[in-house]
Structures are given as C-alpha cells and as structure tokens.
Amino acid sequence: MAITGRAVLAAFAAALVVLVAGSVFTWLVTAVLVLLAAAVLADVLLAPSPRALRFERSGDTSVRLGERAEVALVVANPARRAVRGLLRDAWAPSACAEPRRRRIRVPGGGRVRLTTALTPTRRGDQAAAGVTVRSVGPLGLAARQATHSVPWTVRALPPFHSRRHLPGKLSRLRELDGRQAALVRGQGSEFDSLREYVPGDDVRSIDWRATARRDAVVVRTWRPERDRRILIVLDTGRTSAGRVGDVPRLDHAMDAALLLAALAGRAGDRVDLLAYDRRVRAQVRSHGRGSRIPQIVQAMAPLEAELVESDPAGLVATVLSGHSRTRQLVVLLTDLNAASLEEGLLPRLPALTSRHLLMVAAVGDPRVTEMAAARGSARSVYDAAAAERTLGERSRITAELRRHGVEVVDADPEHIAPALADAYIALKAQGRL
C-alpha cells in the first residue's frame, strides 16, 4: 500500500475548504476527514493487484565493462483490468540501471515490453534485484505495491583496453616468420621451407645439399615454434587489491594477460589460465587448437582480489601438478613486493624454473615514481626518500629474480600490457619457448 501525491493534495485542499467554510458548517471537519479516508480506502481496495502480474526477461547476458547492455522485461497482465502505475526494475547501484523508475500501463490481458539499460561500473556478475510495481487505484489517491523476483544476471567482462595494441604486436609477430634463423639460431626452432639466399642471411643457414641440386644458393628458413604452452597465473591475493590509479592492480594484470593470450593464440600457442591466492579461484585449460580467449574472459570476469596473503607453495605445487608435464612458459602476474616474494616465492623458485620458464610481470605504481621525483620542501623530500626505498626494494627483488633465471617485466599501468607482449615476442624470437 502506498499514498500518492494526489491524496496529499486532496488533504491540503480539504484543509483549505475547512479554513474557508469551517466557521459556518461545523460538521465540515468530520465530513472532509471521513470523505478523504473513505476515498483512500476505496482506492486501495479497488486498485488492481500488482501481485498477479507475470514477468519475463530476455536480452544481453554479458557486456564489456564500460559498454551498455540492454535487458528487456516483458510485463504480462493476466487480469481483466488494466494496471497502471509505477515500475522499478532494481539492480545493484554499480550496474547503473536506467531508467530507475517509469510509468507503466498494462492493459487487461495484455503485455508490455520495457528495456532497462545497464552500464556497469564494476567488473563481475550483476544480478537483478527485483521488480517492484505500484498499482494505482481508479481515483489515483492510493496504490498497492508488490515486489517480484525476476532473476537475471549480466556479467560485466574485463574491458580489454589493451586490445588496441594487438594489431601492432601481431605484425611484429609475423615479421618473425621466415627470418627467424637469419637472426638467431635458437634451440628447437622449427624448419619451415627453403628459399634463395639474399645478402644478409646468415651463411650458417645455407642448405648445401639443396644448393648442390640447384643453380642458386638456397637457405633454410625457420619459423617460430608453434603449439607451445603458456600458463598465465593471476595472483588474486591482497597485493592485487591495491589500486594503481583508480583501478585495482588485478585489473591491470588482467588487461595484460588478455593481450598476451590473444597474441599467443594467434601465434599458435596454447594458453591456460590459473587464478590463485590460497586456493584455485579460476582455471581455464586449453584442449586442442582454437582461441580460448572467450573462456578466459569469462573466467576472469567474476574474479576479485581476496584480502589474504597468497600462498606461493600451493601455487608452485598447483602449477607443477598441472596436466602438462612438458615445458611451458609460466607468466606470473603479481606485485614485486619484496617481503612476500622473498619469504614465499624465492625459496621455491628452483622447483619451478627447473621444469618451466618463469616470467614475472608486475604493475609499477606511477604515484611512487611521482613521489620519488618530489623536491622542494622537507615533506616532499621525505616522500621522495620513502619512494626511493620502495623502488630500491623493487629493483633488489627484480635483480634477485633475474639471478634465478626468471624474466621480469615491470612497467607502469599504461605500458604493462605491451611490455609483456614484447617480452613474449622476444622470447619467441630467441626460440626460448
């Protein structure tokens, strides 16, 4: 039950009537009050029941963060009388559902289709909270109200801002094709084809047997290895919850991971995903060929950083017990936090690096760099000193990791995704995969 603004207006009008004519007709006060109460009561009783309405949803089930999804809501009125009033399709605040409330009129036995536009501001699953209908009585003085649960979920996917780097990185990857051996003769590079020698080619790649059969000098060409395995590991522990700029470190890591996955998928490598803090939060395994990007995106969407210290021992054990016994590139996206890495990951590195190639990628904080450059007042010099200490620890742990044969990519949020892609292309060019 609810009161409308019209009832309030009527009550003020009644007060006005009593003010004007109350001294003449003393019964007027009682009369207007009774009349008002009777009208409101009658309106409540005569209003069509909003509980009888039936709802159906259809529309988008996933949307990239920052884009707009539309969910349709069909309201069916099985009763004979028309229902008119207000309808609110409620979603969580971060879904930014529009419009928040609207006027509806559903004829008896009819259906009305409404559209709610969602522009989620946070990654993850957005569940519909409920549909509330306020059905106004024939006089428009009072209404009946009911809430229906009409379940629907829209998944807000990671935005993948770094996909604008994809064409450039792909063309760099293609440059590797065919001239691989001319640059570096890496171990395990695959033989691709024979072609005529052009000046500049490595003389070591001349195929003398083929040259003997032909008039011209023939060189072997190589192409990058294919069907290598790449395991992207997202650290979802407490260090990933910290915000760099206005976005959690985890989201920057996802962006970089998606670019790497897209690139590696095009290069013919298989990409797996693992999200881990103290247990497995998400896992995607590739079987056979074909892009796994959609699965990876779906697996990433609901991930949130947990406020727990990550467990590197469990992480290493999970990676080692993976179904792939072959050598793979393990890309660990975490923070170069000296305390947690020294105690957790470093002692367990040999077990990992003896079997796999490990690459650690971390998002640097521009705010710390900015603090390190601060000068002028004593306070800003203290800031700079604290920032220098953070940077010093970061470079110390980076050196320590590199000494263990770990590739380290450390870049600020703008550049982490292309930097990681470059590191991958460089590994591929060197044939180290």
Partner 1 sequence: MSAPATAPAPPSAPSAPSSPGAGELWRRARGPAAFIAGLLVLAVLVSLGARQPREGPLEPENPGPQGTRALVEILRERGNEVAVARTTADALEAAGPGTVTVVVGSHRLPPAHVDRLAGGLGDRILVRPTTPVLRALAPGVRMTGRTEEETLDPRCRLDAAQAAGAADTGGEVYTAPRGRACYPAAGGHALVRASAGGHTATVLGSPAPLTNDRLDEEGNAALALSLIGERDVVWLRPDPVPEAGRTGLWELVPRSLRMSLVPLGAALVLLALWQGRRLGPLVTERLPVVVRASETTEGRAGLYASRRARDRAAAALRSGTLRRIRPGLGLGPDAAPAAVVAAAAARSGEAPARLGALLHGPGEPGAADPYTADDHGLVRLAEELDGLEERLR
**Positive/negative CA dihedral, 126, 130, 135, 136:** negative
- What is the closest distance, in whole angstroms, from the C-beta atom of residue 326 to partner 1 in the complex? 27
Contacting residue, 289, 389, 402, 404, with partner 1 by CB under 8 A:
389
Q: Is 388 in the site for partner 1 (CB under 8 A)?
A: yes
Interacting residues of 147 by C-beta distance below 8 A, sequence separation 6+: 130, 131, 132, 133
- What is the closest distance, in whole angstroms, from the C-beta atom of residue 329 to partner 1 in the complex? 24
Q: Is 237 in the site for partner 1 (CB under 8 A)?
A: no
Residues between 245 and 284 with contacts to partner 1, criterion CB under 8 A: 248-249
- What is the closest distance, in whole angstroms, from the C-beta atom of residue 420 to partner 1 in the complex? 18
2-3 and 83-91 as β-strands: parallel, antiparallel, unpaired? unpaired
Contacting residue, 41, 79, 386, 426, with partner 1 by CB under 8 A:
386
Contacting residue, 172, 391, 422, 432, with partner 1 by CB under 8 A:
391
- What is the closest distance, in whole angstroms, from the C-beta atom of residue 202 to partner 1 in the complex? 31
Q: Classify 160 in phi/psi space as left (phi over 0), alpha (psi -120 to 50) or beta.
A: left
- What is the closest distance, in whole angstroms, from the C-beta atom of residue 288 to partner 1 in the complex? 16
Kindly tell me which of 214 and 404 has the beta carbon lying closer to partner 1.
404
Q: Is 106 in the site for partner 1 (CB under 8 A)?
A: no
Using DSSP's 3-state secondary structure scheme, residue 19 falls into helix
Kindly tell me which of 39 and 317 has the beta carbon lying closer to partner 1.
39
Residues between 170 and 189 with contacts to partner 1, criterion CB under 8 A: none
Place of tokens 């990992």: 352
Contacting residue, 108, 347, 350, 392, with partner 1 by CB under 8 A:
392
Contacting residue, 367, 402, 404, 426, with partner 1 by CB under 8 A:
367
Contacting residue, 203, 212, 216, 378, with partner 1 by CB under 8 A:
378
Residues between 310 and 329 with contacts to partner 1, criterion CB under 8 A: none
x/- mask, partner 1, residues 76-105, rule CB under 8 A, reads ----------x-x-xxxxx------x----
Burial code (b: 16+ CB inside 10 Å, e: under 16) for 93-114 equals eebbbeeeeeebebeeeeebeb
Contacting residue, 63, 118, 257, 425, with partner 1 by CB under 8 A:
63
Contacting residue, 61, 115, 193, 283, with partner 1 by CB under 8 A:
61
Q: Is 376 in the site for partner 1 (CB under 8 A)?
A: yes
- What is the closest distance, in whole angstroms, from the C-beta atom of residue 46 to partner 1 in the complex? 14
Q: Residue 311 burial (CB < 10 Å; 0-12/13-18/19+)?
A: middle
Could you give the angle at the alpha carbon of 247 between the alpha carbons of 242 and 251, nearest 5°? 90
Q: Is 51 in the site for partner 1 (CB under 8 A)?
A: yes
Residues between 28 and 47 with contacts to partner 1, criterion CB under 8 A: 28-29, 32-33, 36
**37-42 contact pairs (CB < 8 A, 24+):** 39/7, 39/10, 39/139, 39/141, 40/3, 40/7, 40/141, 40/142, 41/142, 42/137, 42/139
Kindly tell me which of 125 and 202 has the beta carbon lying closer to partner 1.
125
Whether the Cβ atoms of residue 235 and residue 312 lie closer than 8 Å to each other = no
Burial code (b: 16+ CB inside 10 Å, e: under 16) for 273-287 equals bbbbbeeebbebebe
The residue type at 367: R
Q: How many CA atoms lie within 13 A of 256 on its CB side?
A: 33
The C-alpha R_g of the chain, in whole angstroms, comes to: 33
Q: Is 243 in the site for partner 1 (CB under 8 A)?
A: yes
Tokens at 65, concatenated: 């963060």
Q: Is 20 in the site for partner 1 (CB under 8 A)?
A: yes
Contacting residue, 18, 117, 170, 282, with partner 1 by CB under 8 A:
18
Q: Is 148 in the site for partner 1 (CB under 8 A)?
A: yes
Tokens at 393, concatenated: 């620890």
190-196 and 124-136 as β-strands: parallel, antiparallel, unpaired? unpaired
